[in-house]
């Protein structure tokens, strides 16, 4: 497929401009990253956004994979000496993997079939007569011959692409997903009891329910099948082939069709339909994970300021670490705040607060978190009432603590103390800290361990990359894991940059990056606009204006008769600039508008302002809850069936999708996002099963 044909097909399938798609494909072929294309190549793409560009990249890869599979199939058929020009043309016309596999089906037998044996026995001619539906026979065939001929007919029908497609569509539209308790399933209560003896139309099974069914099947609790009306299927097939009920071989053909359906066509279609269900469910689940991860990564940061991080513990005590505004560890201690009053521990806590005067205290929300938070609040209220005490979601902190990244960042520090450091830094800047953790460990997905892991990794990588480049990265303080997510840099080069920064000192400008070994002009082009150098001689180095556009901004300042430093940050001056004067074939109005927005608010953070969540002081555990109680909570995870909310009891409650809003909600993400603070009412509490049912209340303001 030529470059033009590839672009045209992508444009058609995504309903996008052919010129814009062609530009994106060309830029991707040149090695450009998605964030760079979306931000700095709007003139070439027609201002396609990041989502559209990622869709193009995904569709491009799918077509490349399809072409590779087509080549493999052609080579395999050619090896058998069966590749004809007509077959090549049919293969070239295929636009899906299923179509290709349908054409390849007759050529990929790995073992001798019943039909093969029948052909060897000489029953092929009789099979031809059955398919021709002759009007009369010279003599009645023997039962063995008839059975063999029917096997040949059954296989031939099962290899016809149009009939394979017919059965797939029939099962997809009219089939029913049937789930039963497996005979070998363990006795006793099970999370899959709701699926014992359940039936649901295939085209109505929601993605999260299908993934639950697959998990039940994998864990040995469920047997799963797709049922279809066999009689209707037989009639549908007979209508599409030559069938003469009055022919002496009419009954033989009907029997062969039924056998083909039961033994070959339906099982093959069931496999394909279930694969499609799984693919659809995976995509939906991965999309949910991506949306939740994006919300967490883009959560409002506390910003630069000292933080006392506390990783709660009961038996071994609470680990405390004070970190500076740049994340360096200033002090650490272990105190006992949960389960027993320890005067010495309270004194240590007071000393940490007095000696380091943090702007906030970040308390992990794990076991003992609410009790530790209550004790800390009492000390803070007496000693430094202006200090904010915040409950921080600690999911993944233990994973970070034992990671290679943590060992490199905090060498010699106890593993448990690293968790306190991570919690403190997570409050300062969630994005900068969460990029160090495997997204699957953050716990914001839906059946994340059951979906296609390759697709999941790619989606999460895309989300992290998008968020990091949207916010921008401070070149003076960024960690290697954070720099690795900047467009064009990657893990290896990020470590080189950090090593050079440690050896030479902070980079004085963006252009100083060009001295880093292994960082060439192409990489600099990709990454420069997303890096910030506060205090650089050129004030544009602290903005999202790309270095390639510095000359035009300098012209703007000269035309206004002001120094460049005066223009950067002056919204009134910036908005007085007549953009048309500076537009040309290379630099159009979309990029010029972006430049003006940056000049008005250079290096602006797109994230919202930080506001600490407030939990009720009289609620610490699930046993403190009662029906009808109203609380404020923080959304931790949004799924297809509702939202999980942290209400400060170490066990998230579920607001079912039917309780998220007054009207019907099709997509929970349309009304709530991870990190949102929402008022809720307790509907029911199941203490033994640790289940809390909530409903969302209308906001009071």
CATH of the domain at 208: 1.10.3500.10
**Residue 462 domain flag:** no
pLDDT in tens, 42-73: 999 999 999 999 999 999 999 999 999 999 99
- Looking at the structure, tell me whether residues 117 and 254 fall in a common domain: yes
Whether the CB-CB separation of 357 and 306 falls below 8 Å is answered with: yes
pLDDT for the residue numbered 700: 66
Complete DSSP assignment for 50-72: HHHHHHHHHHHHHHHHHHHHHHH
**Residue 457 domain flag:** no
Place of tokens 């090593």: 499
CATH of the domain at 631: 2.40.50.140
Please write down the long-range contacts of 623-626, taking CB distance under 8 Å and 24 or more positions apart.
623/687, 624/649, 625/649, 625/682, 625/685, 625/692, 626/682, 626/685
Considering only CA atoms, which of 388, 136, 175, 335 is closest in space to residue 265? 175
Place of tokens 């995976």: 282
CATH of the domain at 423: 3.30.420.140
pLDDT for the residue numbered 255: 96
- Looking at the structure, tell me whether residues 274 and 422 fall in a common domain: no
Judged on CB neighbours under 10 Å (0-12, 13-18, 19+), 511 is middle
**Residue 480 domain flag:** no
pLDDT in tens, 140-193: 889 999 999 999 999 999 999 999 999 999 999 999 999 999 999 988 888 899
Query: Tokens for 86?
Result: 């007509």
**Residue 434 domain flag:** no
Q: How many domains does the chain have?
A: 5
Considering only CA atoms, which of 168, 165, 166 is closest in space to residue 203? 168
Work out whether strand 329-335 and strand 318-323 pair parallel, antiparallel, or are unpaired. Answer: antiparallel
Sign of CA dihedral 13, 17, 18, 21: negative
First to last CA, the chain: 58
pLDDT less than 50: residues of the chain: none
Please write down the long-range contacts of 465-470, taking CB distance under 8 Å and 24 or more positions apart.
465/33, 465/34, 465/35, 466/34, 466/35, 466/50, 466/294, 467/294, 467/297, 467/298, 467/431, 468/297, 468/431, 468/435, 468/530, 469/35, 469/39, 469/530, 470/35, 470/298, 470/606
Sign of CA dihedral 26, 32, 33, 34: negative
Q: In Å, how far are 160, 327, 647 from 310, measured between CA atoms?
A: 66, 14, 19
- Looking at the structure, tell me whether residues 205 and 317 fall in a common domain: no
- Looking at the structure, tell me whether residues 282 and 406 fall in a common domain: no
Q: Which of 258, 290, 322 is the last residue of a domain?
A: 290
Q: In Å, how far are 2, 21, 29, 510 from 57, measured between CA atoms?
A: 16, 10, 10, 29
What phi and psi, each to the nearest 5 degrees, are found at residue 311?
A: -100, 105
Task: In whole angstroms, give the CA distance from residue 689 to residue 701.
Answer: 35
Task: In whole angstroms, give the CA distance from residue 582 to residue 587.
Answer: 8
pLDDT for the residue numbered 353: 94
Q: Tell me the whole-structure pTM to 2 decimals.
A: 0.85
Considering only CA atoms, which of 396, 422, 424 is closest in space to residue 409? 422
For residue 90, give the 3-state DSSP assignment. Answer: helix
CATH of the domain at 93: 1.10.10.650
- Looking at the structure, tell me whether residues 102 and 130 fall in a common domain: no
Whether the CB-CB separation of 493 and 519 falls below 8 Å is answered with: yes
Considering only CA atoms, which of 405, 401, 344, 335 is closest in space to residue 368? 335
**Residue 441 domain flag:** no
Q: Which of 428, 450, 472 is the last residue of a domain?
A: 428
Task: In whole angstroms, give the CA distance from residue 229 to residue 233.
Answer: 6
Provide the domain limits for residue 334.
307-428
**Residue 479 domain flag:** no
Task: In whole angstroms, give the CA distance from residue 505 to residue 466.
Answer: 28
CATH of the domain at 542: 1.10.150.310
Whether the CB-CB separation of 329 and 338 falls below 8 Å is answered with: no
pLDDT for the residue numbered 1: 65
Q: CB-based contacts of 649: which residues, under 8 Å, 6+ apart? A: 370, 619, 620, 621, 622, 624, 625, 692
- Looking at the structure, tell me whether residues 692 and 589 fall in a common domain: no
- Looking at the structure, tell me whether residues 268 and 160 fall in a common domain: yes
pLDDT for the residue numbered 636: 87
**Residue 594 domain flag:** yes
- Looking at the structure, tell me whether residues 101 and 164 fall in a common domain: no
**Residue 16 domain flag:** yes
- Looking at the structure, tell me whether residues 593 and 653 fall in a common domain: no
- Looking at the structure, tell me whether residues 281 and 155 fall in a common domain: yes
Task: In whole angstroms, give the CA distance from residue 74 to residue 70.
Answer: 6
- Looking at the structure, tell me whether residues 100 and 118 fall in a common domain: no
Q: Which of 106, 130, 165 is the last residue of a domain?
A: 106
- Looking at the structure, tell me whether residues 221 and 360 fall in a common domain: no
């Amino acid at each position: 497929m030529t470059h033009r044909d590839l672009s045209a097909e992508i444009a058609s399938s995504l309903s996008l401009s052919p010129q814009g798609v062609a530009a994106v494909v060309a830029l991707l072929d040149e090695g450009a990253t998605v964030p760079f294309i979306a931000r700095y190549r709007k003139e070439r793409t027609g201002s396609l956004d990041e989502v559209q560009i990622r869709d193009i990249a995904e569709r491009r890869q799918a077509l490349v994979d399809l072409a590779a599979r087509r080549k493999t199939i052609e080579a395999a058929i050619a090896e058998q000496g069966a590749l004809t020009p007509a077959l090549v043309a049919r293969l070239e016309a295929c636009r899906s993997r299923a179509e290709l596999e349908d054409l390849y089906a007759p050529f990929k037998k790995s073992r001798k079939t019943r039909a093969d044996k029948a052909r060897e026995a000489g029953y092929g001619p009789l099979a031809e007569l059955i398919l021709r539906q002759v009007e009369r026979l010279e003599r009645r065939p023997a039962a063995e011959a008839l059975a063999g001929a029917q096997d040949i007919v059954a296989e031939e029908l099962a290899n016809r692409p149009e009939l394979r497609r017919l059965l797939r569509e029939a099962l997809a539209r009219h089939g029913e997903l049937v789930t039963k308790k497996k005979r070998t399933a363990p006795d006793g209560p099970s999370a899959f009891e709701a699926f014992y003896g359940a039936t649901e139309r295939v085209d109505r099974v929601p993605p999260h329910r299908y993934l639950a069914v697959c998990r039940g099947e994998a864990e040995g609790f469920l047997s799963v099948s797709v049922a279809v009306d066999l009689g209707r299927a037989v009639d549908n097939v007979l209508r599409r082939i030559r069938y003469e009920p009055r022919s002496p071989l009419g009954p033989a053909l009907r029997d062969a069709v039924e056998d083909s359906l039961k033994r070959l066509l339906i099982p093959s279609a069931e496999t394909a339909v279930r694969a499609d269900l799984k693919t659809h469910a995976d995509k939906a689940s991965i999309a949910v994970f991506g949306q939740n991860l994006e919300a967490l990564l883009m959560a409002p940061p506390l910003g630069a300021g000292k933080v006392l991080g506390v990783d709660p513990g009961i038996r071994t005590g609470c680990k405390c670490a004070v970190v500076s505004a740049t994340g360096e560890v200033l002090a650490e201690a272990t105190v006992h705040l949960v389960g027993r009053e320890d005067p010495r521990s309270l004194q240590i806590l007071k000393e940490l607060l007095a000696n380091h005067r943090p702007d906030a205290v970040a308390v992990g929300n794990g076991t003992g978190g609410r009790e530790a938070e209550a004790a800390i609040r009492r000390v803070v209220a007496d000693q430094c009432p202006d200090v904010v005490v915040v409950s921080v979601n600690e999911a993944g902190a233990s994973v970070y603590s034992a990671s290679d990244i943590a060992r490199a960042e905090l060498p010699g520090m106890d593993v448990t103390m690293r968790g306190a450091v991570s919690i403190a830094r997570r409050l300062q800047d969630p994005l900068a800290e969460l990029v160090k953790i495997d997204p699957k460990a953050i716990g914001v997905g839906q059946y994340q361990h059951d979906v296609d892991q390759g697709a999941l990794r790619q989606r999460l990588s895309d989300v992290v990359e998008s968020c990091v480049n949207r916010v921008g990265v401070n070149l003076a303080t960024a960690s290697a894991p954070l720099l690795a997510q900047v467009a064009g840099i990657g893990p290896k080069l990020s470590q080189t940059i950090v090593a050079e920064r440690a050896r030479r000192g902070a980079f004085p400008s963006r252009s100083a990056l060009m001295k880093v070994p292994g960082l060439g002009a192409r990489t600099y082009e990709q990454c420069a606009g997303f890096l910030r150098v506060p205090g650089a001689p050129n004030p544009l180095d602290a903005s999202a204006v790309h270095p390639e556009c510095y000359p035009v901004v300098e012209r703007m300042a000269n035309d206004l008769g002001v120094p460049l430093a005066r223009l950067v940050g002056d919204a009134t001056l910036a908005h007085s600039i007549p953009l048309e004067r500076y537009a040309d074939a290379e630099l159009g109005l979309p990029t010029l508008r972006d430049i003006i927005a940056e000049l008005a608010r250079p290096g602006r953070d797109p994230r919202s302002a930080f506001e600490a969540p407030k939990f009720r002081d009289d609620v610490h555990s699930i046993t403190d809850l009662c029906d009808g109680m109203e609380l404020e909570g923080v959304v931790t995870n949004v799924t297809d069936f509702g939202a999980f909310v942290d209400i400060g009891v170490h066990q998230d409650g579920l607001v079912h999708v039917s309780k998220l809003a007054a009207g019907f909600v099709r997509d929970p993400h349309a009304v709530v996002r991870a990190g949102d603070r929402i008022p809720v009412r307790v509907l029911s509490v199941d203490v033994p099963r640790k289940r809390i049912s909530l409903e969302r209340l209308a906001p009071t303001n």
